[in-house]
Amino acid sequence: MSLLPKSFNVDLNQIFDTVIIGLGPAAYSAALYTGRYMLKTLVIGETPGGQLTEAGEVDDYLGLIGVQAQDMIKLFNAHIEKYNIPAIIDTVESFRREGDIYVVKTKRKGEIKARTVIVAIGVKRRKLNVPGEDKFTGRGVSYCSVCDAPLFKNRVVAVVGGGDSALEGAELLSRYATKVYLIHRRDQFRAQPVYVDTVKAKPNVEIILNSTVTEIKGDKLVRQITVKNLKTGETKDVDVNGIFIEIGFEPPVEFAKVNSLETDQNGYIKVDEWGRTNLPGVFAAGDCTSTWLGFRQVVTAVAQGAVAARSAYTYLNERKVR
Ligand code: NAP
């Protein structure tokens, strides 16, 4: 089984029943279902696995107990291969409607035509936007604990955030680093209690609440961060070798705007319970969408992908264009 999906030498000049944009769990699931509905499908995405590539062990997907994320991606590839669904690595810049057809503009492969589009583009990481962050990115500033934790063996690190990513990251880093500061801007964590309890039990994790990082300092590498207590206004410099910024994700505002997709007040693509967007024949699924109160899990993305595929199938059947 491979980490890369197959392209099956697909003819890109045909009109597809559906083009799925993205290569995360929602996109794979949509592809599996459009495959089972026998829709002529093309998947176009940048990174096979999407955010799963940044995960280590996944233990909250029913039935796959403690599966490694990489193994999960391989299984996803094998599953869509079984239905001969081609996937190509490319970036979709935009799509436009011409009559009953959507013309999907890609960065490398030119324009691709489809009767329906399923948008499953995920979300991008949020930045702290403090002095030093850009300068030291890759030189002590990281946005992915799972990817970079082993680089900080016997070092001192800070993790910023109070969600699942930050808590999961702090736990992982505590296995490598001598000391982990977990810095959160409130006194309540939004992470699942199981993560909070695990981190609190780690003797080398110091939790700093009601605080934020206001500056990242160093020479060639990160050496220090400035931490501000938001209740007292006091600031202090803390010596660290690395800082992991795990403060969530930005919604796909730009992509939505370029493609006239309606968004909710937070910038996520608005969909109904069937994954329908404001555009006819365009569906959306996974983390880029507004549904399910921001509960973004592999299992929810996969469910939304299946629903969007079903909607594309119904849409095409109603128009009898297949
Ligand atoms: P998140 O749930 O949005 O949490 C982001 C955290 O960063 C929050 O605690 C937030 O503080 C804090 N934050 C946001 N902007 C900040 C800023 N400018 N400065 C300082 N702190 C800031 O993001 P996430 O933890 O990356 O998780 C994203 C989604 O993926 C969630 O739905 C999560 O459940 C899911 N996820 C799931 C798993 C899992 O189930 N195993 C693992 C990782 C992620 P406030 O709390 O004050 O808002």
Specify which residues 228 forms β-bridges with.
212, 235
Query: Residue 87 pairs with which residues in a beta bridge?
Result: 43
**Does residue 164 line the site of ligand 1, with CB under 6 A?**
yes
Give the residue whose CA is nearest to atom 16 of ligand 1: 247
Q: Atom 22, ligand 1: which residue's CA is nearest?
A: 247
pLDDT digits (tens, 9 = 90+) for 162-219: 999 999 999 999 999 999 999 999 999 999 999 999 999 999 999 999 999 999 999 9
- pTM, two decimal places: 0.83
Q: State whether the beta carbon of 124 lies less than 6 angstroms from ligand 1.
A: no
Per-residue pLDDT at 291:
78
Q: State if residue 25 touches ligand 1 by the CB under 6 angstroms criterion.
A: no
Q: For 15-47, write each residue's pLDDT tens digit.
A: 999 999 999 999 999 999 999 999 999 999 999
Domain extent listing, the chain: 15-125+249-319, 141-245
By alpha-carbon position, which residue is closest to atom 24 of ligand 1?
248
Is the beta carbon of 162 within 6 A of some atom in ligand 1? yes
Predicted local confidence at residue 294, as pLDDT:
72
Q: 33 with 118: CB under 8 angstroms? A: no
Per-residue model confidence as pLDDT tens digits over 68-93:
999 999 999 999 999 999 999 999 99
As a whole-number percent, the residues of the chain with pLDDT over 70 amount to 99
pLDDT of residue 297: 87
147 is catalytic: yes
- CB 247 near ligand 1, within 6 Å: yes
- Nearest residue (by CA) to ligand 1, atom 31, is 296
Tell me whether residue 148 is one of the annotated catalytic residues. yes
Q: Which residues pair with 69 in a beta bridge?
A: none
Q: Domain 141-245 is of which CATH architecture?
A: 3-Layer(bba) Sandwich (3.50)
Mean pLDDT on 101-108 = 98
Highest averaged pLDDT of the listed ranges 141-155, 280-294, 301-315:
301-315
- What average pLDDT score do residues 107-118 get? 98
Atom 45, ligand 1: which residue's CA is nearest?
162
262 or 1: whose pLDDT is higher? 262
Ligand 1 atom closest to 212 (CA)? 20
According to the model, what pLDDT value does residue 322 have?
Answer: 61
Q: CATH top-level class for 15-125+249-319?
A: alpha beta
Q: Same CATH topology for 15-125+249-319 and 141-245?
A: yes
Q: Which of 148, 164, 287, 288 is catalytic?
A: 148
Mean pLDDT of the chain: 95
Judge whether 73 and 3 are in contact, CB under 8 Å: yes
- For residue 288, indicate whether it is catalytic: no
pLDDT score recorded for residue 141: 93
Degrees, nearest 5: CA angle 93-94-100: 145
Ligand 1 pocket test: pick from 60, 190, 195, 207 the residue with the most ligand atoms within 8 Å of its Cβ. Answer: 190
Residue 293 has pLDDT above 70, yes or no: no
In this predicted structure, the answer to whether residue 144 has a pLDDT above a threshold of 90 is: no
Q: What is the pLDDT of residue 48?
A: 97
pLDDT band at 56 (very low <50, low <70, confident <90, very high): confident
